[in-house]
Chains A and B, each alone.
Chain A
Amino acid sequence: DGGITQSPKYLFRKEGQNVTLSCEQNLNHDAMYWYRQDPGQGLRLIYYSQIVNDFQKGDIAEGYSVSREKKESFPLTVTSAQKNPTAFYLCASSVKGTYNEQFFGPGTRLTVL
């Protein structure tokens, strides 16, 4: 099946710990994106990558880091510097060019205790 997978579905961490969220796609898409969603809110862009080994900050990049070593993978690390990390995290991908249609994974719900 072609699609975008995110793991884990739920993640619990203690305050001060770094955590890494996985995002994999087998759609052969060049571009990948990470969004954050808070309760009752829309999606806000954290980071995006349009090509391997290159990525750009979105609107709320502080306290997050990413890597893009492979076309199909775009992991997100939530660092201890992120002041309010509890949220729903969504990964997306598209063919090259942000004006193209984006498709989303199922999301990871992160709770920091």
Chain B
Amino acid sequence: GIQVEQSPPDLILQEGANSTLRCNFSDSVNNLQWFHQNPWGQLINLFYIPSGTKQNGRLSATTVATERYSLLYISSSQTTDSGVYFCAAPFSGNTPLVFGKGTRLSVIA
């Protein structure tokens, strides 16, 4: 079936370090979203990025739809960046989002 795979599954960073999270998807998509789930469970929208590159402060994302992957860059990480990062995409037509299993990020001071 249609799959969204995220890597790495777990990541531990020292505060101030940079990181790249990857999302691979098995079929063409017409949308891709990145979310941050905070320790209370709230899913926070980071990027809606069907293709190209977007930046928001210390975070940026790039989706290369033709090669079926997206990258989330976190620069100068802070302890508040800790949590789980999910990517999700609908596959063709009008189908709902399919989520990856997430990358659990821990930023230590």
Q: Which positions in A face B, CB cutoff 8 Å?
A: 33, 35, 37, 41-45, 48, 50, 58, 88, 90, 92, 97-104, 106-107, 109
Are B99's CB and A43's CB within 8 A? yes
Residues from chain A with a CB closer than 8 A to the CB of B102 are: 42
Please list the residues of chain B having a beta carbon within 8 angstroms of any beta carbon in chain A: 30-31, 33, 35, 40-43, 45, 48, 86, 88, 90, 94-97, 99-102
Contact B94 A98 (CB under 8 A): yes
**Residue numbers in A under 8 Å from B90 (CB-CB):** 98-99
How far, in whole Å, are A104 and B44 apart by their CA atoms in the complex?
A: 7
Instruction: Tell whether, in the assembled complex, residue B31 and residue A100 are in contact, meaning their CB atoms are under 8 Å apart.
Output: yes
CA distance A43 to B97 in the complex (A): 9
Nearest residue (CB) in B for A108 is B41
Minimum CB–CB distance for A94 against chain B, Å = 9
A90 touches B94 (CB 8 A): no
Give the shortest distance, in Å, between A10 (CB) and chain B (any CB).
11
Q: Are B96 and A45 in contact (CB under 8 A)?
A: yes
Q: Using A41-B101, A42-B102, A43-B86 as known contacts, say yes or no to A101 and B96 having CB atoms under 8 A apart.
A: no
Report chain A residues within 8 Å CB of B40. Answer: 106
Contacts of B101 in A (CB 8 A): 41-42
B96 touches A58 (CB 8 A): yes
Q: Is the CB of B96 within 8 A of A98?
A: yes
A99 to B30, CA, bound (A): 6
Residues of A within 8 A of B35 (CB): 104
Question: Which of B48, B94, B100 contacts A101 (CB under 8 A)?
Answer: B48
Residues of B contacting A103 in the complex (Cβ-Cβ under 8 angstroms): 45
Interface centre among A42, A98, A103 (most CB of B within 10 A): A42
Q: Closest CB of chain A to B45's CB: distance in Å? A: 6
A102 to B45, CA, bound (A): 8
Nearest chain A CB to B30's CB is how many angstroms away? 5
Cα distance A90–B94 in the bound complex, in angstroms: 20
Contact of B33 among A90, A102, A109 (CB under 8 A): A102
Complex Cα spacing A35 to B97, Å? 10
Judging by beta carbons under 8 Å apart, are A99 and B94 in contact? yes
| Alpha-carbon separation in the docked complex, A48 to B101 (Å) | 20
